[in-house]
Amino acid sequence: MTPEMDPAPEWTGTSSDPNDEQFGHVVERTTLDTSREYDAVLVGEPYDGAVLGRPGAREGPTAIREALASVKTHHFEAGPVASVADAGDVRVEREASVRDVQEAVRETTAELYDRGALPVFLGGDNSLTYPNVVPLVDSARIDGESVAVVSLDAHLDCREVRAVEGPTSGTPYRQLHDAGLGTLCVVGARHFETGSRYADYLRERGGAVVTAESVAEGVEATLDRIRSAVADADSLYLSVDVDVLDAPSAPGVSAPTPGGLSSRELFALVRGIAGDERVRGFEVVECAPPLDPTPTGLTAATAARTVAHFLAGVAA
């Protein structure tokens, strides 16, 4: 049975100039059944019931779509982005337990991968990284292959799942490791944002950490470190938690902190990774528009352009 989805909105551009092609002009509405017909398909995940910090990410999908609609489609190296569709929002019960929500979302993501789609998930909190990735891990385990995740995030999100509390936005990679995830490479992690036990855990699991300070030494050098860390993987998944950015660049997140990446660094890294033919999925999580004090909605605008750069990397 096909999982239930709320239909995608109608996409429209905001420019009256016919030469200003925007994403609002080119994104088509689709369903899970026809999702593989496009280079990439947007899927909203309006849920923040597992967030450890401040809620608000459930409004991320709508705000990112609205911001993306007015972004022009032309990239100077990749050319115009096209062949993008929107399959709507995953239907979740906000009063359900986090585990139940994860299982419900997992049904939808598994369907997308089974149909050969390249999903672009618009979050939503980081707890949904687990159901977004675990179908890939399950398939790889059956085939004797491995999956790596490149996580652009200020935090490692490898907390233990406690019996009473259950999964949270801080536990997805612990859950994925338990399911058989091969490699986790965290890029943009901050000093003094992670407990020693979790840093030791990731190191013991063969994971890699590239700090925000290291990224500042150069994007190409960072991409080389990422490629080295995930060289043995058969499939890749790319995750962007918007709090990887320096707090002034993305104030509308659950846990903004200083010392993060610049938006220019983020865009270049996302585009560079997106060009890898092993990439099977992408997400932008923890964009929380109600927490953004900027009158222009800077965080959603940055998240939308992150999506645009991913699509340009896929098209290049």
C-alpha dist (Å) from residue 96 to 22, 47, 49, 99: 37, 11, 9, 8
C-alpha dist (Å) from residue 276 to 83, 135, 152, 235, 241: 18, 20, 16, 10, 20
Q: Judge whether 158 lies within some domain.
A: no
Cis amide prior to 188 (ω within 30 degrees): no
Which CATH number does the domain housing residue 10 bear?
3.40.800.10
Q: Judge whether 168 lies within some domain.
A: no
Encoding tokens for residue 178?
A: 């338990």
Q: Judge whether 305 lies within some domain.
A: yes
C-alpha dist (Å) from residue 264 to 104, 114, 250, 269, 297: 35, 34, 13, 9, 18
Beta carbons of 115 and 32 less than 8 angstroms apart = yes
Query: What confidence tens digit (pLDDT) does each residue in 78-122 have?
Result: 999 999 999 999 998 888 999 999 999 999 999 999 999 999 999
Q: Judge whether 157 lies within some domain.
A: no
Beta carbons of 30 and 8 less than 8 angstroms apart = yes
Its domain, for residue 94, covers 5-144+236-315
Confidence of residue 1 (pLDDT cuts 50, 70, 90): very low
d(C-alpha 253, C-alpha 295), whole Å: 15
The domain total for the chain is 1
Query: What confidence tens digit (pLDDT) does each residue in 29-78 have?
Result: 999 999 999 999 999 999 999 998 899 999 999 999 999 999 999 999 99
Q: Judge whether 270 lies within some domain.
A: yes
* Phi-psi group of 56: left, alpha or beta (phi > 0 → left; psi -120 to 50 → alpha; rest → beta): left
Q: Judge whether 253 lies within some domain.
A: yes
Q: Judge whether 220 lies within some domain.
A: no
Q: Judge whether 154 lies within some domain.
A: no
Beta carbons of 166 and 98 less than 8 angstroms apart = yes
Confidence of residue 193 (pLDDT cuts 50, 70, 90): very high
Beta carbons of 27 and 102 less than 8 angstroms apart = no
- Find the mean pLDDT for residues 290-303: 96
Phi first, then psi, for residue 124 (nearest 5°) are 85, 155
